[in-house]
Amino acid sequence: MNVSSIGGLFLSKKEREFRKQLSNVLGFNPGNVELYRTALSHRSVREGADENNERLEFLGDAVLGAVVAHYLFMKYPYKDEGFLTEMRSKMVNRNQLNSIAVKIGLRRITLFNKLDNSLKVSQIFGNTLEALVGAVYLDKGFDETYKWVARQIIRSHLYLTELEHIDINLKNKLYGWANKNGKMLEFETISEKLESGRRFFTIGAYIDNELIAQGEGFSKKNASQIAAQKAIEKLNIT
């Protein structure tokens, strides 16, 4: 068997590869590897509350929100609460987090039921990113987590200057275009299901009864915004 020893423990080739990939994603060597393994484990492969990443996702969501709020507070000393709240929403929305998670390589090391094709295109990687933030917080503390999020997530993948100019109420923008062009725009719920114990929505944007785009999220509002954004991009609305 192909094994090596770390700290007196004999590790298989598969385990060594997992730890290498984990360190590459994190940018540092983790202290408690099992904590991070839990953060990367979806309930489809580990059902126990102490085994899958749902509790860490809950913690990571709160920590990430605090880190982003602090980062924005320091970066924009003269902006009001409304601006800061809007920017935070743009930075940590489910679609954004899922995209970042895939970019940093979480899809390759997230442990989930790969036979379930619906999971491959769902938002579980964004959820996993939040769980990973929770793990970093427990492993390294808030100060190091702040530095890690700022370095690995915000400065590497979030372009704040561009986000400042994105209209967060994309539904209104799409409605304005529809009214101007004599089109009938409707947002309808395509499906509603439970995922990770929460309701997960798929919302469709229909123009003249034709499905133009659809979005997914844990609230109808977020799913509608994502559908509106995709419709705007598809229709080349400026």
Overall pTM surpassing 0.75 (yes/no): no
For Cα atoms 180, 217, 97, give the angle at the middle one, nearest 5 degrees: 105
Query: How many other C-beta atoms are found inside a 10 Å radius of the C-beta of residue 28?
Result: 14
Whether the predicted pLDDT of 6 surpasses 70: no
End-to-end CA separation in angstroms for the chain: 59
Res 168: pLDDT: 64
Final residue before a domain boundary, out of 137, 164, 191: 164
Which is catalytic among the residues 54, 57, 61, 139? 61
Where is the domain boundary, 116, 139, 164? 164
Type of residue numbered 107: R
* pLDDT tens digits along 34-82: 999 999 998 887 777 778 899 999 999 999 999 999 999 999 999 887 7
Position 1 scores a pLDDT of 45
Return the number of other C-beta atoms located less than 10 Å from residue 53's C-beta.
29
CATH number at residue 225: 3.30.160.20
CA atoms within 13 A on the CB side of 47: 0
User: Are residues 201 and 125 located together in one domain of the fold?
Assistant: no
Arithmetic mean of pLDDT, 127-134:
96
In the chain, the percentage of residues whose pLDDT exceeds 90 is 47
Percent of the chain with pLDDT over 70: 91
Give the structural domain span for 10. Answer: 3-164
- Per-residue model confidence (pLDDT) at position 3: 46
Over residues 106-121, the mean pLDDT reads: 78
Burial class for 201, CB neighbours closer than 10 Å (0-12, 13-18, 19+): buried
Residue 80 designated active-site: no
Q: Are residues 120 and 14 in the same domain?
A: yes
Residues 97 and 129 in one domain: yes
Average pLDDT along the chain: 86
Q: Say if residue 104 is in the same domain as residue 187.
A: no
CATH value at residue 33? 1.10.1520.10
Report CA 28 to chain centroid distance, whole Å: 21
- Using the 3D structure, point to which of 164, 191, 216 is the last residue of a domain: 164
Counted domains in the chain: 2
Q: For residues 206 and 151, state if they share a domain.
A: no
pLDDT value, residue 194: 86
**What 3 state SS string does 34-54 have?**
HHHHHHCECCCCCCCCCCCCH
Give catalytic status of residue 130 as yes or no: yes
Residue 121 has pLDDT above 70, yes or no: no
* Confidence check: pLDDT of 24 > 80: yes
Predicted confidence (pLDDT) per residue in 173-195, tens digit: 888 899 889 999 999 999 998 87
Length of the chain: 238
Please tell me whether residues 144 and 34 are part of one structural domain: yes
Type of residue found at 168: I
Annotated catalytic residue within 57, 86, 130, 139: 130
